[in-house]
Structure 1
Amino acid sequence: MRLGTIAKVPVGAHWSVLVVLVLLVAILGASVLPAAGGEGSPLIYWSVAVVTALLFLACLLAHEIAHLLVAQRTGVGAISLTLWLMGGVTELKGEPRTPRAELAIAVAGPLASIAVSAVGFLLATSLQGVPVVRVAMIWLAFMNLVLGVFNLLPGAPLDGGRVLHALIWRRTGDRAQADQRAAGAGKILGGLLVALGVAQLLLWPAMGGLWTIIIGMFLVTAAHTQLLQQQLRTGLAGMRVRDVMTADPVAVPAWFDVDRFVSSVASQTHQTAFPVVDTSGALTGYVLLQTFQGVPPGQRGTTRVDSLARPLPPDRILSPGQEATVLLDLPLTGDQLAVVVEDGRIVGTVTSADLVRTIQLARLRPPSVPGPPTSPS
């Protein structure tokens, strides 16, 4: 859901934010605010609960905006800002070029949350005679403090993981080593949270623990995914699309029927995804081998390939000279592919298997020698 733009960057919210909003309103309206005492009516409690929950989402947005603005100031830039179930995420245009830039971007969000918390506590002390509003303000201030401090824990993908990454990178000059250590710290942190959640469920059921387990599992998974992305980015650094692609793929004519495709095309190659071309050899889409399994045997002689083909989005039609890092922005999962075209002729394809192979080759390269960072930081 598109919310607008900030500093020319699109801002949106995933549908899961509605789940967060409902949960926060329920917790505030049913337990937190009634504990304030006074003569407040249920209508007042629930009204204040809705406003407080919306303000907390605004605080999450402020946390991410801080990341975004510093990223732009350091020359990294941002692609999008999205709120979702686990908070918010700011997608950067690239990686910071220096440890100093990465450190500045990483600490901006937590510092913004801690600053909001301080303002909230100050406002709460000035609110006299309005217990419900005062409790709501204290809750907001406390939650922002938790948000800021928790995000500074030293493990990827938290902001503290980026801080740790920047410090290791600055000390060793080895970005790959920093990737490994920050991801490892994130996995350890996530594992500890899972263990804490299990202990809560077994020893202190009243404290819950399920949410702690979910957060811990998310950290473990996200740290692993982030490390893979960094390894892939490292593996693709300095490479072109031609270095990653499978050259001279077999293309299938759009007018072929399924039987002819199987006998004269599919049986002659190990490909599982095929570019589809028209009579002039121009690309019209692509088709997956598994798609043909859904065609009844009696219809395979009359069903044309182009009736089963999928359109290929423009961002998945590449040129061989493009930087290979462009592949990181494409949804190349399963049998999805990008087609490489030069002078109107198909010269290659790129699938997830090609990217996996690139990572494997990158891991076989000699490790970089630690040294000073490329620029002062």
Structure 2
Amino acid sequence: MTNGSDPFETRPVERSKKPGLLLARPFGVPVYVTSSWWIVAVLITLVYGGIVQARLALGPSAYLLAFVFAILLYASVLVHELAHSVVARWYGLPVRRIVLYVLGGVSEIDREAPTPGREFWIAFAGPLLSLLLAVGAFTLARWADPFTVTGELLFQLWVANLLVGVFNLLPGLPLDGGRLLRAGVWRLTGRAYVGSVVAAWGGRVLALGVVALPFLFAWSAGDAPGPWAVVWGLVLGGFMWMGATEALSNARVRARVPGLRARELARPAVVVPADLPLAQADVRAREAGAEAVVVADSQGTPMSIVHPAAAEAIAGARRAWVPVSDVARALTTHAWVSVESEGEELLAELTRHSLPEYLVLAEDGGVFGVLRAIDVNAAMAGRGRRA
């Protein structure tokens, strides 16, 4: 499964860029493949092509078959990730996309599973389907001649799915086995954060083990480790270490989500008419102790929020006649947040429609204040409110 950003990002109200080429939309989930995939495809073709040639003596076609293996490997990763995504959507969790990249794939799920049981099944769905496909392909391979193209393709299919399934069951983040470990610790302790910390450190231990593995094998055989084995061990171990570290960082961020409250994060605001000069708006904001200025129409309905940078760019003398409407950003239909929103509910509202600021409405429907994206990101990162 995952987790390029565990699948939660430390900047919840910023829109992410497209990560690569859009491949398809199975079950309505966008699947992207990055250009880094070609690195692995070329390496697999070159290395495995020689093995196929030794087995089947196909000539140059052996490398074509090796390239097919690279495609089957990533198709297996895609099916694996789709299993995560389908189960997550079954539980009502929004899936942003699937990304296939140099070392595998990631399912980006926009919300955390609410219970350890659901976390377990979302994480387990991928390895389970991979292992079932491996068993099915292995059964068919036993009926095929191993020294034919069909037999080789079936062999490739069950090996690819076995690799994807077994590797992902290792007990450490960012692997699926780490999410299973996290779900188990969460269930035992009642704290998702503790589960994340244990699973992240499990991932770090696994990363060190992967780096050391080529040296251990070489030592047991009384030989020096091969350069390719060392390189792959370092690359894979480094990927796992960085993923575990990011998961640990994201766990700390996620632990702050319950403390997010629109009432506390909103900046006090003053409501002024659209034709009011900036200088007079400054006076009203100071008198009211406000940190934001909301612009209303003639009926008193809020329609925009003064952009701080644009307002500051107006020189002192001009502020006496430039109206606030000239330096304000219009409020969209999604820029309204209830003052009672907090925790996961608030985060879901903000990530659903990423905007630089939101108008916070009081219980009576009036203007309570302005919630800025930078303040939410600062709170998630454990920093104070930004100026």
Flag whether TM exceeds 0.5 (same fold).
yes
Distance 2:266 2:289 in 1: 13
Match of 2:346 in 1: 327
Unaligned 5+ residue runs, structure 2?
Answer: 1-21, 217-224
Match of 1:182 in 2: 199
Question: In the superposition, relative to structure 1, how do residues 227 and 93 fare at CA in structure 2: closer, same or farther (>3 Å)?
Answer: closer
Match of 1:166 in 2: 183
Match of 1:32 in 2: 48
Matches within 5 A, 1:1-377: 1=22, 3-6=24-27, 10-14=28-32, 17-37=33-53, 38-40=56-58, 42=60, 44-45=61-62, 47-48=64-65, 51-71=68-88, 76-80=91-95, 82-84=97-99, 85=101, 86-89=104-107, 91=109, 95-97=113-115, 99-128=116-145, 131=148, 134-189=151-206, 192=208, 205-207=227-229, 208-209=231-232, 211-212=235-236, 214-235=238-259, 241-242=262-263, 244-246=264-266, 248-250=268-270, 254-255=274-275, 265=285, 271=291, 275-291=294-310, 305-329=324-348, 330-331=350-351, 336-342=356-362, 345-351=366-372, 352-353=374-375, 357=379
**315-324 or 286-295, which deviates more:** 286-295
Letter of the 1:290 counterpart:
A
Distance 1:338 1:165 in 2: 34
Distance 1:302 1:268 in 2: 21
* TM-aligned CA deviation for residue 194 of structure 1: 9.0
* TM-aligned CA deviation for residue 108 of structure 1: 1.8
SS in 2 for 1:33: helix
**300-309 or 19-28, which deviates more:** 300-309
Distance 1:214 1:184 in 2: 14
SS in 1 for 2:98: strand
Q: Is the 8 A contact 1:70 1:104 kept in 2?
A: yes
Question: In the superposition, relative to structure 1, how do residues 308 and 26 fare at CA in structure 2: closer, same or farther (>3 Å)?
Answer: farther
Q: Is the 8 A contact 1:13 1:83 kept in 2?
A: yes
1:132-167 Cα offsets, whole Å, 9 max, x none, are 554454444333223222322222343222211222
* TM-aligned CA deviation for residue 168 of structure 1: 1.7
Letter of the 2:95 counterpart:
S
**148-157 or 213-222, which deviates more:** 213-222
* TM-aligned CA deviation for residue 118 of structure 1: 2.9
| TM score, norm. by length of structure 1 | 0.70
* TM-aligned CA deviation for residue 223 of structure 1: 0.8
Q: Is the 8 A contact 1:252 1:265 kept in 2?
A: no
* TM-aligned CA deviation for residue 205 of structure 1: 4.1
| TM score, norm. by length of structure 2 | 0.68
Distance 1:251 1:179 in 2: 44
Q: Is the 8 A contact 1:183 1:226 kept in 2?
A: no
1:57-98 Cα offsets, whole Å, 9 max, x none, are 33223223333444466xx3231262212502152655243x
Question: In the superposition, relative to structure 1, how do residues 257 and 96 fare at CA in structure 2: closer, same or farther (>3 Å)?
Answer: same
Unaligned 5+ residue runs, structure 1?
Answer: 362-377
Identity value in percent:
27
Letter of the 1:79 counterpart:
P
Distance 2:59 2:317 in 1: 70
SS in 2 for 1:19: coil
Question: In the superposition, relative to structure 1, how do residues 224 and 358 fare at CA in structure 2: closer, same or farther (>3 Å)?
Answer: closer
Question: In the superposition, relative to structure 1, how do residues 241 and 260 fare at CA in structure 2: closer, same or farther (>3 Å)?
Answer: closer
Structure with larger RCO (C-alpha < 8 A, sep 6+): 2
* TM-aligned CA deviation for residue 219 of structure 1: 0.9
* TM-aligned CA deviation for residue 36 of structure 1: 0.8
Letter of the 1:32 counterpart:
Y
